[in-house]
Amino acid sequence: MEWHSCLDEYEKLVIRMTTPRVVIDNSVCPTATLVKVDSARRYGILLDAVQVLADLNLSIKKAYVSSDGQWFMDVFHVTDLNGNKLTDESVISCIEQSLETTDPDRTHKFNGLTALELNGTDRVGLLSEVFAVLADLQCDVVDAKVWTHNGRVASLIYVKDSESGSPIEDSEQIHRIEACLRNLLKGDNGIHGAKTLVSTALTHTERRLHQMMFADRDYERTPILQHKVVSPVVVTVQNWDERGYSVVNVQCRDRTKLLFDVVCTLIDMQYVVFHATINTTVDKAYLEFYIRHTDGSPISSEPERHRVIQCLQAAVERRASEGIWLELCTTYRQGLLADVTRTFRENGLNVTRAEISTISDMALNVFYVTDAFGNVADPKIIDSVRQKIGLGNLKVKGLPLLYQEKADGEEKGVGVGGAVLTLGNIVRRNLYNLGLIKSYY
């Protein structure tokens, strides 16, 4: 009995050591909620913690990461998307429960669905064709995320059979879906430039999208459409030889899920983050990481250093919000996505990123659209598209940063008769036409 009792106590000790401890404190910082996580160190634990906060759409204003010996500690300063401290007890409880587990990957909402992974050459109207094919093949799209970067597209689409409402398991139907989608995605590189996979396996959607883009080597490709870089991503990598670390610095515009995107890429490249500091100002983010390979060695060559820089720049850019942000909220019906994206295509709009979700019988979809050349779409076209889809269903939620900066920063000029004819006024008028400001005078 004494021997079994000792074993029980030892097992309890191991569980206590390997289970992360979480403290959430609203009293220390006047502007943010502190989330502290500490546990025995294991590979990927930082990503697990950041992933939980990202999935809850929390904004990380500051963070400190330290991993000394076999112990690991994180301190995150977080707010909600409105910049407020966390006061909702359900959110706080969700953070605690999710972080205090060794498996924070919450993919249960995709149970009973079939996952479609798509990789290929991006082009105007591609998403419309994909959704049209799925509708023809009797597939209901329940959830999806679509990213584009450097002329490539990656998408993870969760579907069910339209008639039965069950996962798609028939081998002939699966083969038909894969063949049809692969043909759409092949682009200029032929069939070998496209990849499709139908699976019932569940994974974290955004992490998988990073992995798919990384495997497709999007970071090495030259963009087909050259956009004006409003806020470039600056990445530097240096070695701290005395301590055996490689020091990675990232400077870019701040946004939600930025830390997740960077840490996800470092982990997938087989690096371990030992220490890190994250600071943000109003709209800028400064991230510093002390990393080593999983074998304990720092970055050892110039080609490797260059690859790390390329990959981290790509990781930040993939989620960059190019284009006008449109939000579709309407009752779900079969073929809805095919109809909406066909309207985009017929009006020369290109979808650069999309987030599709269905809750009960409501479709809640977000699209970022540009014109066919990657430029900001004409407000008149946006208005026409909204009229066709329904002004109450499709709303403009935001404009690209380029529009905002022009509206705020253009100097005024005087034309004939004292009329103001600057680009800044034209932009203000467009903002007014889209319903985003009350007046442009």
276 located within any domain:
no
Amino acid at 267: I
pLDDT in the model for residue 6: 56
- Do the beta carbons of residue 116 and residue 156 sit within 8 Å? yes
Question: Quick one: 153 and 175 in the same domain?
Answer: yes
Same structural domain, 192 and 133: yes
Residues 6 or more apart whose CB falls under 8 angstroms from that of 51 comprise: 104, 105, 204, 207, 260, 264
Distance CA 289, CA 408 (A): 34
pLDDT for 211 equals 95
Please tell me the predicted confidence (pLDDT) of residue 18: 62
**87 and 174 within one domain:** no
For residue 441, give its domain range: 399-441
Q: In this structure, are 89 and 118 located in the same domain?
A: no
Q: What is the pLDDT along the chain (441 residues), one digit of tens a residue?
A: 455 555 566 565 555 556 788 999 999 899 999 999 988 878 888 999 999 999 999 999 999 999 877 788 899 999 998 999 999 999 999 999 888 775 555 556 677 789 999 999 898 999 999 999 999 999 999 999 999 999 899 999 999 998 888 888 888 988 999 999 988 887 655 545 678 888 766 778 999 999 999 999 999 977 655 554 556 899 999 999 999 999 999 999 999 999 999 999 999 999 999 999 999 998 899 999 999 999 999 999 999 999 999 999 999 999 987 789 999 999 999 899 999 999 999 999 999 999 999 988 899 999 999 999 888 899 999 999 999 999 999 999 877 655 554 444 444 444 433 344 444 454 455 555 555 544 444
Q: In 3D, which of 118, 328, 97, 138 has the Cα closest to residue 205?
A: 118
The count of C-alpha atoms lying within 13 angstroms of the C-alpha of 121, restricted to the half-sphere facing its C-beta, is: 14
* 405 and 394 in a common domain: no
63 C-beta neighbours (distance < 10 Å), count = 22
Indicate whether 96 and 174 sit together in one domain: no
Over the range 192-212, which residues count as b (16 or more CB within 10 Å of their CB) and which as e?
A: ebbbbbbeeebbbbbbbbbbb
The encoded tokens of residue 88 equal: 């909702």
CATH code for position 59: 3.30.70.260
In a domain, 159, yes or no: yes
Whether residue 229 lies inside any domain: the answer is no
The reply to whether 195 and 327 lie within a common domain is yes
Q: Choose among 170, 154, 168: nearest CA to 114.
A: 168
Task: Please give the Cα distance from 180 to 53 (Å, whole number).
Answer: 37
CB 314 within 8 A of CB 242: no
- What is the per-residue pLDDT for 422? 44
Q: Does one domain contain both 123 and 196?
A: yes
Give the Cα separation of 394 and 385 in Å (integer): 9
Query: Is 242 within a domain?
Result: no
Residues 388 and 403 both lie in one domain = no
Tell me, what's the pLDDT at 12? 56
354 domain-assigned: yes
Specify the residue for token string 């959430």: 24
- Assess whether 341 and 430 both reside in one domain: no
Domain identity same for 47 and 6: yes
Residue 266 structure tokens: 């470092």
**Encoded tokens for 328:** 């579709």
- Chain-centroid distance of CA 118 in Å reads 16
Which of residues 51, 69, 101 is at a domain's end?
101
Quick check: is 286 in a domain?
no
Strands 245-253 and 234-240: antiparallel
Question: Would you say the pTM of this structure is higher than 0.75?
Answer: yes
Q: What is the pLDDT of residue 166?
A: 87
Write the pLDDT tens digit of every residue in 188-227. Answer: 555 456 788 887 667 789 999 999 999 999 999 776 555 5
Is 91 contained in some domain? yes
In a domain, 241, yes or no: no
123: Cα within 13 Å, side-chain hemisphere: 11
Domain stop point among 76, 101, 126: 101
On whether both 181 and 328 belong to a single domain, the answer is yes
β-bridge partners, 152: 121, 149
Domain total for the chain?
3
Residue of 224, 222, 223, 208 whose CA lies nearest to 155: 208
Side chain identity at 290, as an amino acid letter?
Y
